Every structure is written in C-alpha cells, then in structure tokens.
Amino acid sequence: MAKINKPNTSQAPKISIVMPMYNVEKYIKQSLESILNQTFNQYEVIIIDDCSTDSSISIVEKMAPKFNGNLQLIKRSKNSAAPGILRNVGIGLSRGKYLLFMDSDDVILKTALEELYNAAETTNADVLHEERFLITRDRSEELTNTTPLIPITWERKDENGFVTKNTPISEDIVDRLKRYSQGQFYWNTWSKLFKRDFIIKNNIIFPDLFSAEDMVFCFKALCLAKNYVRIPNVVYFYRIRQGSIAHHDRQMEDHVQRQVKIIIDGTKCLNGFMKDFEIFDEYPEFRQNVLDIFIREHFRHLRQIYASTPVHEINKILYKEFLTASNVDASLISYFFSEANLFRVLFDQAQQHIAQLQEEVQALKGGINQ
C-alpha cells in the first residue's frame, strides 16, 4: 500500500475520521468539504482507497493540502471489495481519542464533530449512539439547501420515545440484549462515535465480509461497552444511491452467492463472539434473536430477485452454495430455506392480491364510464 501526506505528529487529534473509498468521484469533494467546514478542527482524516478506477484519488490528492497534514490517503494495491478490511486499516493508523467512521459519499453538519466530541467528553462514553439522522435519495452530485432530506431512524422507539438529552443505557447485558432484539439499536457505524482505546482494548475489528461487517462490529461494541450513551443529535447525512457498495446491482447468481456467503460467514463471526459469554448459554433465545436479525437483514437483500426469477432456479443456487460451504450448521440451512419458502408464499399472495385489486379498479372505472 502507498500513502500520501504524512500525518501531523505535533499534537494527537481528538477525533480520527476513517473513510473507505471506492469510485466516488461525484461525491468525495463535498464529503471532504463538510469536514473542512467543521467548527471543530482537532481531527485527522484517514482515507483508504480500494483501487478506485475513476478520479476519486486525484480529487483527494488535490484537496489534501487544505488539511494541513491531517489527511492520509492510503492506496491499496489490491481491491478487497470489503469495507471492513479498509476500516481496520484506518483503525490501525488512527491516533485520535475517538473514532468516527464516515462513508465517502456522505456529509456531516457543520457542528457535527464539536457536538459529538462534547457529548463524549461529558458522558465519558465508550460509544455514542445517534438515534436519528438524515437521508437523501437524491443522486445529484451536490447536496444543497433544496435537496430533499428525510429525518429518519431505522430503529424502533422504546416506550419513552427518542431521547431528548444524553442518556446512558443500563450496563445490564440482559437489558441491552432485550432492547437489541426489539430493534432499538441499529447497526450502522456512521451513526456512532467510538472511544478508540475501548475498541483497541477489546480487539473489536470488522470481519472480512462483503457487507454487514458493521452489524457484527456494532453488536460487539454494544455487548462490551461500559458506557453506551444514546444522544439526540442529528448531525449525519446518509446518501442512498445505486452503485454504492451497499446498493450495487449485481447479476442474480452472483448476488445470491454473495448474500449466502455473508450469512454463513457472518453467523460464524457472531457465534464465535457469543460463545465467550455465559449469558447466551443462560438465555439461548438471545443467541437465536441475534442470528435471526442478521439473517433476516440479509435475506431482505435476496427478496428483490423473487419478482423476476423462478423459485427453482434460486433454490438450485442456494443448495449449491450451502453444499459447498464448510462447517455450516444444519439448523442454519433449515432456517434459511424456511425463510426463503415463506417469503415466496407471501410474495405470491401479494401478487394475487394486487391482481385482484387491479381487476376491481378496472371494474369501477368501467362502471363510471358507462
């Protein structure tokens, strides 16, 4: 790997911003500008490029001098197609007290770093958890004042709703696992600030997965953090776009193979982590809930192919993938096919209901026209 711009070593930064990058020439400039415009300047930026083939690297190199030695660009010699590997490189190079993981097509509000740093220092948090953020489905190159933004949370509110002030959660692991099972802690890393020493001390790393590496990472952090703090701040803009690592269109067979591999490897990572906690032996339902959430999240990515692909073709690929995989739990295979078949039934029922409604609409239109 090659890198440019040696870090400024005169003073350790307060926040290390770790940013994987791959072919984001339309977005990286604005992402970096949102960092340059921060009211808080005690940060470093570590960009790990995964062999971009567009002008992303050139754009970063041109902007690097504006960061006064506080930006490192790491150029990998081989494409990993795994954001987690890139983030692990960034963690290893980081010097900040806190870690912030940004996607290279997203932006942060002007006061984001100041708000997050102050909240972390005030609460002595191992993890700061933002419950709400902004998303845009706008695919233009620039986010402007007129860009449609949607305030959103991907989590379910608890009985008290979203927090209105910095709120530490219980250290009771049973309580945390109940909340996790209820969907109260979503798994994206960019909606969190992590204390670096906590991550290093507990050896929390991203697994080598095509996606969902952050799901495993954040679950480990939730279980291991002493001070896990929910905060009301809305400081992050997440861009949903086609062509990103998380939303890239693939050929059907390749797509199925990738998702099956993620499910198999991801459940192994989670099981390997949970085996060291007696709580999962005492409450086996928690173990199953954690695996269910992971599998269903990735099964969701498979559902799109059912609309255009005969079920026997999908099952043929699934059988092949599971049969060639090593050390796959039989219960996982059974669960996966049960979910697949259940979704197919529900999909067919939905299609029939849509057809019925369309017939009723046509009949009503016919009555009106008579």
- 195 and 127 in contact (C-beta within 8 Å)? yes
This prediction has a pTM of: 0.83
Quote the CA–CA distance of 265 and 186 in Å, as a whole number. 20
Angle at which helix 252-274 crosses helix 213-224, to 10 degrees, equals 20
3-state secondary structure of 152: strand
Quote the CA–CA distance of 245 and 232 in Å, as a whole number. 28
Quote the CA–CA distance of 4 and 181 in Å, as a whole number. 43
At 189, which amino acid appears? T
Angle at which helix 252-274 crosses helix 330-369, to 10 degrees, equals 130
Which has the closest alpha carbon to 301: 347, 241, 246, 239? 246
Which has the closest alpha carbon to 24: 3, 44, 53, 1? 53
- 42 and 14 in contact (C-beta within 8 Å)? yes
CA distance readout (Å), 216 to 85, 155, 206, 213, 290: 13, 17, 7, 5, 10
Instruction: Count other Cβ atoms within 10 Å, centred on residue 249.
Output: 8
Quote the CA–CA distance of 307 and 80 in Å, as a whole number. 31
Going residue by residue through the chain, which has 370 residues, state the pLDDT in tens, using 9 for 90 and above: 544 444 455 589 999 999 999 999 999 999 999 999 999 999 999 999 999 999 999 999 999 999 999 999 999 999 988 889 999 999 999 999 999 999 999 999 999 999 999 999 999 999 999 988 887 765 555 555 555 555 544 455 555 578 889 999 999 999 999 999 888 887 889 999 999 999 999 999 999 888 889 999 999 999 999 999 999 998 998 887 655 544 444 577 777 778 788 888 898 899 999 999 999 999 999 998 998 888 887 777 666 666 667 767 777 777 777 777 667 666 666 766 676 666 667 777 877 888 888 887 887 777 666 6
Residue 145 is predicted with a pLDDT of 53
Which has the closest alpha carbon to 24: 210, 213, 246? 246
State the residue for tokens 């708000």. 115
- 56 and 141 in contact (C-beta within 8 Å)? no
3-state secondary structure of 151: strand
Q: Which residues on adjacent β-strands are paired with residue 20?
A: 48
Token pair listed for 215? 């799901």
Pairing of strands 15-21, 98-101: parallel
Residue 299 is predicted with a pLDDT of 72
For CA atoms 354, 356, 360, 362, give the dihedral sign.
positive
Query: Residue 319: what are its φ and ψ, rounded to 5°?
Result: -60, -45
Residue 307 is predicted with a pLDDT of 61
